[in-house]
């Protein structure tokens, strides 16, 4: 088996190993430590990227959403690398890809890149599966519960210190994350969900928004009218961090119609739902946050077309506004 690269840190330059090297790290299922090397990752073989973060933990979404820790301390994220879903029937979840250190090598800018043999690439692809049944997909999202374990209260706190120690964030940033978590957890316990309505059957609206269109996020009063008492509209909730964009104009990045569900491999169909540029899950209810950087899902009923394109250099994101607002 290929020797594991030890303790990569944010900012390190790495090269994805060649297909023949990667084959030596994978078991019969195409995984290492039950984390799949997906076919969408093969295109990155021989290419170089910067390490974004070490990944000690991750959120997961499904029947019971929560926070879990990786069973081994050898997982990192690379800057801006998300799964295209091209080999999984066009899944649009666009997950950040998790990388085992054994799949990477630390390199210097002055060293020539490794060549990739097309035959080796094809040999690797034949070892990687995308389904385990007619309607059940196999990917990092489907196997996330197997590659991770439950976190105790002590684990959650200890991971906050580890994030700072390895350089994932500064001590000040972590203090702010913990403060946000404490505020929203306390508020939730005392007052319930921030966004919630009284609908027994939540309403539907089809606007047919298209990529590139500018929209305005409706005010909270209008959004509450679309939610049930638990804060959901047809299975999608409206978390506190999304309220920061109320009244703001954002651009539609893409429509989202199908995603693979964490832990099950089921392909779930979505309607009247879009991504907005720069809108990511803030993981407010996760102590210390989560490195996964999931996109926020926006129902079209929460949006309205903007009368004109706003005059500003860039869209406001959910992380640029004050957080502690009751």
Of 132, 150, 168, the position where a domain reaches its end is 150
- Same structural domain, 264 and 132: no
Task: Name residue, tokens 């964490």.
Answer: 262
pTM of the model as a whole: 0.89
162: DSSP letter: H
Give the separation between CA 27 and CA 265, rounded to whole angstroms. Answer: 20
Count of CB atoms situated within 10 Å of the CB of 84: 17
172: DSSP letter: H
Which whole-number Å values give the CA distances from 122 to 23, 64, 88, 257, 271, in the listed order? 11, 38, 17, 30, 36
8: DSSP letter: -
Residue 236 lies in a domain: yes
79 with 108: CB under 8 angstroms? no
Domain that residue 110 falls in: 13-150
- Same structural domain, 59 and 202: no
Residue 300 lies in a domain: yes
Mean pLDDT of successive 10-residue stretches along the chain, which has 326 residues: 65 96 96 98 96 94 80 94 96 96 92 85 96 96 94 92 95 95 92 91 94 96 96 92 93 96 94 94 85 92 86 48 37
255-292 b/e (C-beta count within 10 Å ≥ 16 → b): bbeebbbbbebebeebebbbbbbbbbbbbbbbbbbbbb
User: Of 117, 120, 105, nearest to 6 (Cα)?
Assistant: 105
Give the separation between CA 280 and CA 273, rounded to whole angstroms. Answer: 15
- Same structural domain, 131 and 197: no
Give the separation between CA 46 and CA 104, rounded to whole angstroms. Answer: 9
- Same structural domain, 185 and 321: yes
- Same structural domain, 205 and 321: yes
**Helix (H), strand (E) at residue 70:** strand 66-70
Give the separation between CA 91 and CA 295, rounded to whole angstroms. Answer: 14
Provide the greatest CA pair distance for the chain: 62
- Same structural domain, 185 and 316: yes
The pLDDT of residue 64 is: 65
Residue 132 lies in a domain: yes
Of 129, 150, 171, the position where a domain reaches its end is 150
Residue 170 lies in a domain: no
DSSP labels for 183-244? Answer: HHHHHHHHH--SS----SS---------TT-EEEEPPHHHHHTT--TTSEETTEE--GGGGG
Number of domains observed in the structure of the chain = 2
Tokens representing residue 53 in the block: 């973060």
| Residue spans of alpha helices (H) in the chain | 19-23, 118-127, 144-147, 153-165, 171-191, 220-224
Give the separation between CA 283 and CA 32, rounded to whole angstroms. Answer: 27
Of 150, 167, 202, the position where a domain reaches its end is 150
- Same structural domain, 200 and 135: no
- Same structural domain, 110 and 236: no
Tokens representing residue 55 in the block: 């990944």
The pLDDT of residue 193 is: 86
pLDDT digits (tens, 9 = 90+) for 190-228: 998 899 999 999 999 999 999 999 999 999 999 999 999
Check the CA dihedral 42-58-84-86 and report its sign: positive
Residue 220 lies in a domain: yes
pLDDT digits (tens, 9 = 90+) for 144-154: 999 999 999 89
Residue 48 lies in a domain: yes
Give the separation between CA 140 and CA 260, rounded to whole angstroms. Answer: 10
């Amino acid at each position: 088996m290929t020797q594991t690269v030890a303790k990569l840190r944010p900012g390190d330059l790495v090269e994805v190993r060649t297909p023949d090297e990667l084959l030596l790290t994978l078991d019969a299922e195409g995984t290492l430590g039950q984390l799949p090397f997906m076919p969408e990752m093969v295109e990155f073989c021989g290419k170089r990227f910067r390490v974004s973060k070490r990944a000690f933990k991750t959120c997961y979404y499904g029947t019971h959403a929560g926070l879990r820790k990786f069973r081994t301390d050898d997982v990192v994220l690379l800057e801006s690398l998300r799964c295209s879903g091209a080999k999984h029937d066009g899944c649009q979840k666009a997950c950040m890809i998790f990388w085992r250190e054994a799949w990477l090598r630390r390199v210097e800018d002055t060293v020539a890149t490794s060549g990739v043999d097309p035959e080796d690439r094809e040999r690797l692809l034949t070892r990687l599966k995308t389904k385990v049944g007619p309607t059940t997909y196999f990917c990092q999202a489907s196997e996330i519960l197997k590659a991770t374990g439950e976190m105790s209260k002590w684990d959650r706190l200890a991971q906050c210190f580890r994030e700072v120690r390895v350089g994932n964030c500064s001590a000040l940033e972590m203090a702010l994350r913990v403060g946000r978590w404490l505020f929203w957890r306390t508020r939730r316990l005392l007052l319930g969900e921030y966004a919630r309505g009284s609908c027994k059957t939540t309403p539907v609206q089809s606007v047919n928004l298209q990529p590139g269109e500018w929209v305005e996020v409706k005010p909270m009063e209008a959004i509450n009218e679309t939610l049930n008492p638990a804060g959901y509209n047809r299975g999608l909730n409206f978390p506190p961090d999304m309220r920061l964009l109320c009244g703001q104009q954002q651009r539609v990045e893409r429509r989202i119609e199908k995603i693979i569900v964490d832990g099950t491999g089921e392909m779930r169909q979505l309607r009247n739902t879009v991504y907005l540029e720069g809108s990511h899950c803030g993981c407010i209810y996760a102590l210390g946050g989560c490195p996964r950087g999931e996109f926020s899902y926006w129902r079209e009923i929460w949006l309205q077309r903007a009368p004109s394109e706003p005059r500003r250099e860039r869209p406001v994101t959910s992380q640029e506004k004050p957080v502690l607002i009751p």
